[in-house]
């Protein structure tokens, strides 16, 4: 019996092998390599050990602090706001719209379109003088902020764009979760006189918790890695005068533009640890809510 099990295990390695090779080559090795590089300095072809000095530099760098601050601001606004809007749209699509499949497809389009391309379109929408957004705001006499060229507006612009970008994926996943809820639950609840909001908060939302936990984790991680949307919105710059600098942008900047890969990797390791801790805490919290 024992022998047989061991034999099974050996053949299992053959099946795992190709995938494992890929993971080691493209995931495990780069992580280790980044870790090693974070203790080294010099250019990519001649690295030498410098101990903790990269970390010291990064921690003391006010730009990194700013980048982290921006990243946290982005993550902790885009994720909850995006989630609430996604739930609202998904619930309404599911409940009230006749051809929900069509709208679902429509909402999913941004997800299959390149962020850079969308970013360019949004540059026009956000444009201070002739942008669509300000045209609408002007129509309702709501003031016309300079979304792209005013440094103090840059993070808000990025956040609005981020919320919009997060909808596509969330809505599609939420729609499938909503379809998974037994329709008889609503029939029953209605028969007992439950109102629409009671049905949503007592029946729908609790049954969405596992899906929400998944989406929040995925959203939060991708929010901490925000980069492309900023690149696209500000024409390859981290906002005006670096006002929309985020952690990944900082890393890219240190690696590519400044040419200090060691510093970039130290920042990478720190970001990795932050994401790890935040998603761990979030999972704990959601488990508690889900079990209640």
Partner 1 sequence: MIEVSNLNKTYENGYEALKNVNFSVEKGELVCLLGPSGCGKSTLLNIISGLLDATSGDVKFEGKSVLDVAPENRDIGFVFQNYALFPHMTAEENVMFPLTVGKNKKSKAEAREIAQKYMELTHITDIAKKKPGQLSGGQQQRVAIARALVQQPKVLLMDEPLSNLDARLRLQIREEIRALVKEVGITTIFVTHDQEEALSIGDRIILLNNGVVQQADKGQNLYLDPANQFVANFIGNPVIDLFDVQFDGNQFNNEHFNLLAERLADNKLKQKLPAGDYVIGIRPENLQPSTAEMADFTIKVDDIELIGRERILKFYFGDMQYRSLVDIEDQIGAGNEINLRFDMKKAFIFNKDGERVY
What does the binding site for partner 1 look like in residue numbers (CB under 8 A)?
A: 182, 184-185, 187-195, 198, 202-203, 206-207, 209
Cβ proximity to partner 1: between 72 and 209 the closer is 209
Cβ proximity to partner 1: between 66 and 185 the closer is 185
Cβ proximity to partner 1: between 143 and 193 the closer is 193
Q: Cα(37)–Cα(44) distance, rounded to whole angstroms?
A: 9
Query: What is the helix (H) or strand (E) element at residue 46, kind and residue range?
Result: strand 46-49
- Least gap, CB of 225 to partner 1 (angstroms): 32
Please report the DSSP string for 92-134 in residue order: HHHHH-TTHHHHHHHHHHHHHS-HHHHHHHHHHHH-TTT-HHH
- Least gap, CB of 203 to partner 1 (angstroms): 6
- Least gap, CB of 102 to partner 1 (angstroms): 23
Q: Cα(174)–Cα(171) distance, rounded to whole angstroms?
A: 5
At residue 194, the 3 state secondary structure works out as coil
- Least gap, CB of 190 to partner 1 (angstroms): 6
Q: Cα(287)–Cα(83) distance, rounded to whole angstroms?
A: 18
- Least gap, CB of 200 to partner 1 (angstroms): 12
Cβ proximity to partner 1: between 85 and 203 the closer is 203
- What are 186-193's contacts with CB under 8 Å, separation 24+? none
Q: Cα(232)–Cα(117) distance, rounded to whole angstroms?
A: 8
Q: Cα(127)–Cα(177) distance, rounded to whole angstroms?
A: 37
Cβ proximity to partner 1: between 125 and 189 the closer is 189
- Least gap, CB of 99 to partner 1 (angstroms): 19
Whether 91 contacts 98, CB under 8 Å: no
Cβ proximity to partner 1: between 47 and 209 the closer is 209
């Amino acid at each position: 019996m024992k022998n047989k099990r061991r034999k099974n295990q050996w053949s299992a390695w053959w099946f795992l092998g190709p995938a494992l090779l890929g993971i080691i080559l493209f995931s495990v090795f780069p992580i280790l390599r980044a870790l090693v590089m974070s203790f080294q300095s010099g250019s990519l072809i001649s690295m030498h050990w410098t101990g903790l000095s990269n970390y010291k530099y990064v921690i003391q760098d006010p730009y990194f602090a700013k980048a982290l601050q921006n990243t946290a601001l982005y993550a902790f606004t885009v994720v909850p706001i995006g989630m609430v809007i996604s739930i609202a749209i998904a619930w309404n699509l599911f409940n009230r719209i006749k051809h929900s499949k069509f709208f679902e497809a429509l909402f999913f389009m941004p997800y299959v379109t390149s962020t850079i391309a969308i970013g360019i379109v949004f540059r026009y929408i956000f444009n201070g003088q002739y942008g669509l957004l300000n045209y609408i705001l002007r129509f309702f006499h709501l003031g016309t902020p300079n979304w792209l060229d005013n440094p103090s507006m840059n993070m808000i612009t990025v956040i609005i764009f981020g919320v919009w970008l997060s909808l596509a994926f969330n809505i599609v996943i939420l729609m499938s979760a909503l379809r998974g809820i037994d329709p008889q639950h609503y029939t029953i609840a209605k028969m007992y006189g439950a109102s629409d909001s009671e049905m949503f908060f007592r029946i729908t939302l609790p049954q969405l918790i596992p899906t929400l936990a998944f989406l929040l984790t995925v959203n939060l991680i991708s929010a901490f890695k925000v980069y492309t949307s900023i690149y696209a919105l500000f024409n390859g710059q981290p906002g005006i005068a670096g006002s929309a600098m985020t952690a990944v942008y900082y890393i890219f900047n240190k690696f590519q533009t400044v040419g200090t890969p060691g510093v970039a990797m130290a920042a990478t390791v720190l970001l990795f640890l932050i994401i790890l801790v935040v998603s761990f805490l979030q999972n704990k919290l959601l488990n508690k809510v889900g079990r209640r």
